[in-house]
Structure 1
């Protein structure tokens, strides 16, 4: 049986493609203390694709791990993202510059808009001094706070000016490719007509058997947009259920002699997407990378776990922010 693809082609400017490793290592964590050791373990285990973001607040730790690994920069694929309060066109580059400085890099391979909306910063100076950390207050992150009347300082207007600012960073060489994250079909339709010169290389979304995002990913595939997928193991449902303990998942892992994480990452790559699993445990870090082609019936059984009406979504920032995110995902 043929092995799974170790890389996927990623569309870039000039009608060219570059190679992106088909499995990435996620670096989000509420506690940054684990990051350097885990990233270094991942690199030593063979990972060459790191998924990062300004908001994760661990750019310095990631940079330290890269340097200690001794792996040449040319062998790595680094993704990072800007948070919505950097979405004004004049601030998009500032966020990337901060991440590059903190990681000790000259460029990234892929630069994404983290969300399809904008948040109003306190000031440009506040952004320059902002603390990148998921646990930092909005004031510390340079964002105006939410008022009692609602999220008045967040908006979901046209993304085109921001997209045009993103494209310029490919020309300057600070990133090899640009893309988006958490965009619906409607969001993508807005920018695709403005992406002839520099394509939308990627849309990073939540995807796993509970929420395969089939129609969105099918639309992306039609337009040459690669899906990289966070939360490939899903989170916890309101009733306490987890995908990792789903009876079907557990049974399939046993029948195919693989770990559960290995099973779910293999399912993701086999359907042509890039999973971005993360772990602090060395054995799981290694097994999550050891993808293998699953029998057709196993892949189909995982496909059948999709929950109705996108109820399998576990990252609900739309509810946290009170914004119309993830809407029209199948329009």
Structure 2
């Protein structure tokens, strides 16, 4: 009887390991039920603020001829990606806070994950392109109009999309090819890689390795290229004899540099650090930071620290009031 019982248990385990969950449950902020509506109000306000601020940046870079330069072309693309990025996560989170359900199908989870990492990776690549643009503008100003032609700017943005889409699609397929036969509760407010892999059955070494390599390629390599660009920029700025020239050059680059530090810092901790050192609570907090707070800060940093945009905003305000 004992032998039959043990055999039956092994059969059940085998059957479970060959089946996968058809839906997940996003725990989100269920650990603080008394704060659900307050969080709903805060995140709704943040989401609307991000949409409005980034839409204004896109609008003024389109209608103001003074802002139709490579720098603002890349900034408008970055703002568009930001809008898409927060739209993938925040509306879903708001719905879960409102309904307190949190269930998400396997397909919806895969689509959300795909777009989150695709748009996040696109932001890193765009930041690298923007750093290169500033490098050419400051270190090689005489050839800037020739080097950063409209055609090259479009090609650089297109290249970013062409690089990121197949890699992210492959990563998503690989992750959702795994079996999720245990708990279907994701301790997160959206479908992200680290919490999903913790639910997977069997050995995920290959997946962890693939994600680590992709993270190095799309986070660390762009970061190093950005650092090299800014190293050369700072070196050239320090060689300027005019204090006013140095101040103007630093103010042009400081906004972008702040955004770079915020983005790369949180992403490196989340995706590049070893899995053994990852905490679910810390991961959720960092995700909250780079999916909501940084997108809120970005348009503020770029507008308040940019004289050209502030002038354009005043012009737009004058036109609307007259």
Please state which band the TM-score falls in when normalised by the shorter chain: under 0.3
The answer to which structure has the higher strand fraction is 1
**Structure-1-length-normalised TM-score:** 0.24
The answer to which structure has the higher helix fraction is 2
Larger radius of gyration: 2
Q: Larger relative contact order (C-alpha < 8 A, sep ≥ 6)?
A: 2
**Structure-2-length-normalised TM-score:** 0.25
